[in-house]
Structure formats: structure tokens, C-alpha cells
Amino acid sequence: LPFAEEEYYGEPRGDVVLFARRMVDAGADLVIGHGPHVVRAMERYRGRLIAYSLGNFATYYGISVAGAKGIAPILVTTLDGEGRFIEGRVVSTVQKRPAGPSIDEGNRALALLRKLSIDDFGEPGLTFFPNGRIVPAGRQPAAEPPGAGNDAPQGEP
């Protein structure tokens, strides 16, 4: 993430980190950004989840889906009654032409989210698990039925 003003084709786009955090400061419980057509980092700020970009989920034609541009997470979140982030789940998808999006068994969007979040924030306040679960740092996810997934934290990217 650029921690500064962004520009695209000479048009000022603003400081996405400052903007997202100000939205939380103003009362937003969840912020989901978009714009660069690729996955960006996530962080927990003041107990709220900020996902800076979830990329492109269903791009038929006109925008490249090669490499990182073709993977995207589906994000499901649970918030408490005060709007604080309790836990989430990422389902990784990949776009293949002409078929469109499908589940990515390699979980590349999850791995990329984790890597970018750590690279950009050092400690994003989140723990990423290999089965797609995301919880506030220091917490364990709620119990799942047996065989539903691996709840060991994901190792280094």
C-alpha cells in the first residue's frame, strides 16, 4: 500500500490508508476499499476490519486476469453488536477465461492477503489460518465441526 497520496493517469486518488482510518474514526464498522483491480492488504484498526482492496471477482474481458490480477478473495465477516471485528473467512477464487471465477484450491488470495498485510503493516492485528479463517491477533477462531479445516496459524509467506 502506498502510505501517501496516490495518482492514476494524472488524477489524484488520495491517501487510501488515511481515508479508511478516518472512516473508522467517523463510525464505520467495516471498510472495504477498491480501485487498483488487485488484492491489497487488510488490517484491524481500532477493532474494525479494513480490507483495502479485494481485487476483481468477475472480470469477463477488458482487464487482464493474468497472475495476481486473476485472484480474489470472497470475504465473509462477523462483527459484534458494537461493530468490532470478531472473525472472518476468506474463500480464494481464480479467474480463468472463458470459464470465469472458480474456487482456488491453492488459496492464493489468502496467502497474498496475509503477505501484503504483514509487509504493509508489520503487525496488522490479524491472524490468518490456512483454512481461510481470520481472527484478531492473539485469539483463536470459534470451534468448527470436525474435519472442517486446519486451525493452525499459517506459517511465513
The verdict on residue 146 lying in a domain is no
H helices then E strands: how many in the chain? 2, 10
pTM over 0.85: no
Q: Is residue 1 part of a domain?
A: no
- Give the mean pLDDT of the chain: 86
Whether residue 153 lies inside any domain: the answer is no
CA 122 to chain centre: 15
| Average pLDDT score over residue span 16-41 | 92
pLDDT at 44 over 90: yes
With respect to residue 88, please indicate whether it lies within any of the assigned structural domains.
yes
Residue 92 belongs to a domain: yes
Compute the distance between CA of residue 127 and CA of residue 135 in angstroms, rounded to an integer: 5
For the stretch 92-148, pLDDT in tens is 999 888 888 899 999 999 999 999 999 999 988 999 999 999 999 988 888 775 555
Residue 155 lies inside a defined structural domain of this protein: no
pLDDT at 12 over 70: no
Domain count, the chain: 1
Instruction: Find the domain containing 17 and state its range.
Output: 6-136
Q: 118, 124 in Cβ contact below 8 A?
A: yes
Q: What is the pLDDT of residue 47?
A: 97
Query: In the prediction, which pLDDT does 156 show?
Result: 43
- What pLDDT score was predicted for residue 148? 57
